[in-house]
Amino acid sequence: MPHRAFTLLELLAVLAIIGALAGLMLGVGSHVFTRAKRTRAEGELATLAAALETYRRRHGDYPCTADAAALLQALLGRRDPLNRPITAPAVIDLAHFAPTAGTDPQADPAARLVDPWGNPYDYAYRTLDPWENSGYILQSAGPDGVIYHALLPGGFIAIAHPDNADNVIAPR
């Protein structure tokens, strides 16, 4: 009685199908992971925007700075809108955010909050004269980590610039 076995062609076909399915799964998994980071950045930006509104109600204005470390110190109740030292209650809960690696925001005035890709959040308020924007600029650099920092006249983000294509912008 002859033994029945798989031919080389049948084995190669099965391996090709398994390889194709594995490639599809890796692609889908990568997309899901990227989308999760973007969703996290959107949530963190919404929380920061709410904290900035609370800060404005308490102090009469947003922090007038383009420095991410000064912004964090203001949200922690250590700086007034003109970046002068104060002692006030914090308007942000640090448990929901990641600081720059190796820094303690409570002890290090150079600490900054970073997005899910490890880049500091970008913030600016009243950095141009005249500042016609009714609010502030708050955004994440997104997966590519690049932000086109030159603002349009009046203090608006250049959304159409290619470097800003994947940025995540705070809600208004």
Write down the pLDDT at residue 141: 95
Domains of the chain: which residue ranges? Answer: 8-169
Query: Quick one: pLDDT at residue 7?
Result: 84
Q: What is the DSSP letter of 83?
A: S
Q: How distant, in Å, are the alpha carbons of 43, 119, 138 from that of 40?
A: 5, 13, 15
Q: What is the homologous superfamily of the domain 8-169 according to CATH? A: Glycoprotein, Type 4 Pilin (3.30.700.10)
- Work out the end-to-end distance of the chain between its first and last CA atoms, rounded to an integer number of angstroms: 78
pTM above 0.85, yes or no: no
Shortest CA distance to 45 belongs to which of 96, 82, 80, 90?
96
Collapsing DSSP to helix, strand or coil, 21 comes out as helix
Q: 24-57 pLDDT, tens per residue?
A: 777 767 777 888 999 999 999 999 999 999 999 9
Per-residue pLDDT tens for 58-109? 999 999 999 999 999 999 999 999 999 999 999 999 998 999 988 999 999 9
Q: Give per-residue pLDDT as tens, 119-165.
A: 999 999 998 888 999 899 999 999 999 999 889 999 999 999 999 99
